[in-house]
Structure 1
């Protein structure tokens, strides 16, 4: 695989189909930019994204008290919020076909990209290095693609403990139970993979987060980089610029198996989308009508 998984599990089924429902403008942006947009986790509509469930938060507090009393560094207590503020995601719906529920959910979005887990992975794999010095400054180590692609877990945040949360990055893979219908797989860029440097100390707009540093060395003055829990208020106080989103270059033809227009799209709209796709240098054959429009089978004898 061209991406790295580390503690991020792969899907339990072999190469599942993935769908992304979107507006025509966002679809054309993908074709024009040859890139996918990864919004920051903290800026997604659901305010619970990247937060801990109540049992997990209480377990973390108890572990802090057990291990260190009141001497435990605040930076480590606030790591989940640091991940939330500095990680980026691109979300896909897993389904072996179109979903009428998703069409209804995104009723103003007339297009769905059909892809697969393997296509998404491979489309992201070969383009990071060549864009690194241009508009996509993502890697510390250009030999790796720091993008994990993994299914989302759904939990009751009032009662359910989060699994594998000793790896704090796992908060990027949790959502609340009411969103289970999304059946989501997401690509994740973790904050620890970004070079986030204090804008007052570097021409770069980004600050390295040393999650694995010895807490006793965080404030000894030996490292010129800022070491602080990146809560929202800390970001504002330090005058740090954390991007609202990142464009990540892709191979469009690898990513897209087909482009499906929503059911009952007028023919003139279908043909217009085909024409625009063709003008942008891609095959119009990738554009298809919804399979939901098919006529039902009847027992009528065919006319002779």
Structure 2
């Protein structure tokens, strides 16, 4: 994240979950081409409106009610991830663990955490989606991505808050509800914040390999202000000079 987002996280003591369709991958929440083909076969005899319009619109509605917080899993820093997601020389990388992420969440929202599985979206139906193209739940498309994103090695926390879910359980959404649903972006919240215990979450703070020393010094001061252990702040080792 950039420096301002880091300070915002400290100030709000929360993690931000942008809406799924706000992320850069337009395939978020979509089905594979193979699955869509099977779906058409399995629904033969249904009205074309249901197959061609309502089901695709239903999937887009799901993206409007799904919020994602994404992490890169690795034993060390990734030069590629710094280059891909850093827009300036003042970037910050937060280090944590799966267990610490889970334990740090201090919020009543239902949150599902999963590793992403990477598959060929042209020729594969993911395991558990059924040979006929049906899926047993609506969250599964958000736990899979195309193999072109495999370099991300992603772990994501997911809020999947569909309007037809309630404390009484899940009900089927009707065709009329799908028809009347507004897909205009302004009709939906752009993201959600989730309260976290930052002292539990943060196990390290890595400063961009391109940043000057004063950025690290500033981060130390900011961490002290927000009662985060300043010893957690370290310059990225990717920028170190080689030995010959």
Normalization by structure 1: what TM-score? 0.68
CA spacing shift, 1:94–1:175, aligned 2, 3 Å: same
Q: Which has the higher helix share?
A: 2
8 Å CA contact retained: 2:2, 2:92: yes
- Tell me the alpha carbon deviations over residues 223-252 of structure 1, each in whole angstroms, 9 at most, x when there is no partner: xxxx723x8x82258x98321100111111
- Residue of structure 2 equivalent to 1:223: none
CA spacing shift, 1:116–1:214, aligned 2, 3 Å: closer
> Of residues 171, 184, 196 in structure 2, which corresponds to 1:213?
171
**CA RMSD in angstroms, aligned pairs only:** 2.8
What CA distance in whole angstroms lies between the structure 1 residues aligned with 2:85 and 2:60?
29
- Tell me the alpha carbon deviations over residues 2-59 of structure 1, each in whole angstroms, 9 at most, x when there is no partner: xxxxxxxxxxxxxxxxxxxx10111111111011111111121121111111101111
CA spacing shift, 1:250–1:63, aligned 2, 3 Å: same
- Structure with greater Cα Rg: 1
8 Å CA contact retained: 1:64, 1:72: no
Residue 280 of structure 1 deviates from its aligned partner by 2.2
> Of residues 220, 245, 256 in structure 1, which corresponds to 2:202?
256
- Residue of structure 2 equivalent to 1:9: none
Residue 72 of structure 1 deviates from its aligned partner by 10
Aligned length: 231
What CA distance in whole angstroms lies between the structure 2 residues aligned with 1:277 and 1:60?
52
- Residue of structure 1 equivalent to 2:83: 104
Normalization by structure 2: what TM-score? 0.83
- Residue of structure 1 equivalent to 2:37: 58
Residue 128 of structure 1 deviates from its aligned partner by 1.6
Mapped pair 1:281 → 2:231:
no
Mapped pair 1:77 → 2:47:
no
- Residue of structure 1 equivalent to 2:211: 265
- Residue of structure 2 equivalent to 1:16: none
Residue 183 of structure 1 deviates from its aligned partner by 0.8
- Residue of structure 1 equivalent to 2:95: 114
Structure with more contact order per residue of length (Cα contacts < 8 Å, sep ≥ 6)? 2
3-state SS, counterpart of residue 122 of structure 1 = helix
> Of residues 136, 159, 169 in structure 2, which corresponds to 1:189?
159
What CA distance in whole angstroms lies between the structure 1 residues aligned with 2:189 and 2:128?
28
- Residue of structure 1 equivalent to 2:132: none
Give 5+ residue unaligned stretches, structure 1: 1-21, 130-137, 139-145, 193-206, 220-226, 299-304
> Of residues 59, 62, 70 in structure 2, which corresponds to 1:91?
70
